[in-house]
Amino acid sequence: MDIPTFPFPADHALQVSPLLAEARAGSAPVRVQLGYGAPAWLVTRYEDARTVLSDPAFGRDRERAGIPADRVAGMTPIDPTSDTLLTEDPPDHTRLRRFVYRTFTPRRVEALRPGTERIAGRLLDAMTEAGGPADLVEAFGLPLPIQVICDLLGVPVAERRRFTAWTDALLSTSDLTGDEIRSSIDEMNGYLAELAAMRVEHPTDDLIGALVRERIEGDRLSGDELNNLVRAVLAAGFETTASQIPNFVFLLLRGGDYARLAADPGLVPAAVEELLRFVPLIAQGSLTRFVLTEIEVGGVLLRPGEQVLVELSAANRDGDAFPEPETLDIARRSNPHIAFGHGLHRCLGASLARMELQVALSALAVRLPGLRLAVPADQVPWHTARFVNRPRELPVAW
């Protein structure tokens, strides 16, 4: 029997492929072949997804699982998260995550909300003063999270262009070769090493400064580990939010829910959770998991050395977990989505992303209640060769 190619085709970047619903209806995991590496099992049901993401029978460390780098199932020639916190298992994962967790606690993140609101206000001031139509991606969606994450890291905002170029390279699925992606990683790591060296001479209170102190005073963090931690924080803390802001606005404008949000901005927190559930952000599902010990999932016996993908968007449309799952309901009350993952590797920056998305939608709804697409929805251009879905441009008027 032929193994189907994954990701499954869809008519639009923000559509969940109908083939995923078929796979979920069949209950059991199915075998798929991605662009690179060996075949993998695809999990689409909500409860099965939570099992794979949280059970210690699965890991993210390919070496621990005995899987060569060129056999890792993925959409990119090299794993963009390789050698970062995202590919570690305990005890190293526990040790490394502790270094950055304090920065992303809900309390610390909430303290960043007023500053994030000021950044959003300044960006919208500049956009409206320049006059419409405007590209919401370039004017608002990209600069808001990059300014926030640069403040957290202690990176000059003037370096935004370099960071976005590096992130684009890391998340490219077909535009760049493996050597080009590795070159971008080396360039980024070299820059981060320079920043760390500066903080040895001139200590700071930002995240890089705190990690440098851990390396010097605690002798528990190597230079490579510092670089890789910052790279993971940058990609997770910037790219996901920068993509979801235009994704969310596009769906709200196309479906008519934006006017409802503008009339009642109090709906923003519920709307953010529902959009997180509804929008298929990652083009290939979750990061690949490796089977460490034999376990049964969905009636299929998975054996050590096999690989598993969790399709988050399919799990978040499971009717057993969500009433009317195919309906975008921005006032949905109960919403236990797993858009940020689940278990040990749940997104470290979930609180930060949630806060930024709330600020972004609130600022737009209050400041620009008449926001609308400046071109027909089917003329909005989308990235087609990236690990993460988002429009290249989002022309808007108000």
> Is the pLDDT reported for residue 37 higher than 80?
yes
Phi, psi of 2 (to 5 degrees): -65, 140
Three-state SS across 313-379? HHHCCCCCCCCCCCCCCCCCCCCCCCCCCCHHHCCCCHHHHHHHHHHHHHHHHHHCCCCEECCCHHH
> Is the pLDDT reported for residue 225 higher than 90?
no
Token output for 301: 């016996």
Nearest to 144 by CA among 237, 266, 13: 237
For the residues 201-212, what does the mean pLDDT come to? 82
User: What average pLDDT does the chain have?
Assistant: 86
Token output for 228: 């890789």
Q: Find residue 74's DSSP bridge partners.
A: 36
Share of the chain above pLDDT 90, in %: 48
Is residue 11 domain-resident?
no
Token output for 12: 């639009």
> Is the pLDDT reported for residue 172 higher than 60?
no
Helix 92-101 vs helix 223-234: angle between axes, to the nearest 10 degrees?
A: 60
Is residue 10 domain-resident?
no
Token output for 22: 């078929």
Query: pLDDT at position 336, please?
Result: 96
pLDDT of 46-66, one tens digit each?
A: 999 999 999 999 998 888 888
Query: pLDDT at position 357, please?
Result: 97
Q: How far is Cα 173 from Cα 389, in angstroms, rounded to an integer?
A: 11
Token output for 341: 């993952």
Q: How far is Cα 231 from Cα 176, in angstroms, rounded to an integer?
A: 19
pLDDT of 339-386, one tens digit each?
A: 988 887 777 788 889 999 999 999 999 999 999 999 999 999 998 756
Highest mean pLDDT pick, 81-90, 144-153, 236-245, 350-359: 350-359
CA distances from 85 to 88, 226, 231 (A): 5, 10, 9
Quick one: pLDDT band at residue 171, thresholds 50, 70, 90?
Answer: low
> Is the pLDDT reported for residue 165 higher than 70?
yes
> Is the pLDDT reported for residue 219 higher than 60?
no
> Is the pLDDT reported for residue 214 higher than 80?
no
Q: Which residue has the higher pLDDT, 270 or 226?
A: 270
Query: pLDDT at position 284, please?
Result: 65
Give the global pTM: 0.88
CA distances from 70 to 66, 73, 259, 289, 371 (A): 12, 8, 48, 15, 46
Residue range of the domain that includes 186:
18-397
Least confident of 77-86, 111-120, 141-150, 161-170: 77-86
For the residues 269-296, what does the mean pLDDT come to? 90
Q: Give 214's contacts (C-beta < 8 A, 6+ positions apart).
A: 99, 220, 221
For the residues 331-337, what does the mean pLDDT come to? 94
> Is the pLDDT reported for residue 263 higher than 90?
yes
Query: pLDDT at position 30, please?
Result: 95
For the residues 93-99, what does the mean pLDDT come to? 70
Residue 366 near residue 311 (C-beta atoms within 8 A): no
Token output for 352: 């930060």
pLDDT of 306-330, one tens digit each?
A: 999 999 999 999 999 999 999 999 9
Is residue 229 domain-resident?
yes
Query: pLDDT at position 106, please?
Result: 81
Is residue 123 domain-resident?
yes
Token output for 252: 């709200």
Q: How far is Cα 340 from Cα 346, in angstroms, rounded to an integer?
A: 6
Quick one: pLDDT band at residue 391, thresholds 50, 70, 90?
Answer: very high
Place of tokens 């050590």: 304
Q: How far is Cα 148 from Cα 221, in angstroms, rounded to an integer?
A: 25
Least confident of 175-189, 241-255, 290-304, 343-357: 175-189
Query: pLDDT at position 35, please?
Result: 85
Quick one: pLDDT band at residue 202, thresholds 50, 70, 90?
Answer: confident
Is residue 4 domain-resident?
no
Q: Which residue has the higher pLDDT, 169 or 309?
A: 309
Question: Residue 25: which H helix or E strand, with range?
Answer: helix 18-25
Q: Find residue 291's DSSP bridge partners.
A: 58
Is residue 284 domain-resident?
yes
Sign of the dihedral defined by the CA atoms of residues 363, 365, 369, 372, in that order: positive
Residue 363 near residue 120 (C-beta atoms within 8 A): yes
Highest mean pLDDT pick, 22-36, 71-85, 161-175, 223-237: 22-36
Query: pLDDT at position 156, please?
Result: 76
Alpha carbon 283 to chain centroid, angstroms: 10
Is residue 144 domain-resident?
yes
Token output for 240: 């996901």
Q: How far is Cα 230 from Cα 228, in angstroms, rounded to an integer?
A: 5
Q: Give 344's contacts (C-beta < 8 A, 6+ positions apart).
A: 54, 90, 93
- Domain containing residue 35: CATH number: 1.10.630.10
Nearest to 385 by CA among 13, 82, 136: 13
Query: pLDDT at position 133, please?
Result: 96
Token output for 348: 């470290």
Token output for 169: 């390279």
Query: How many structural domains is the chain composed of?
Result: 1
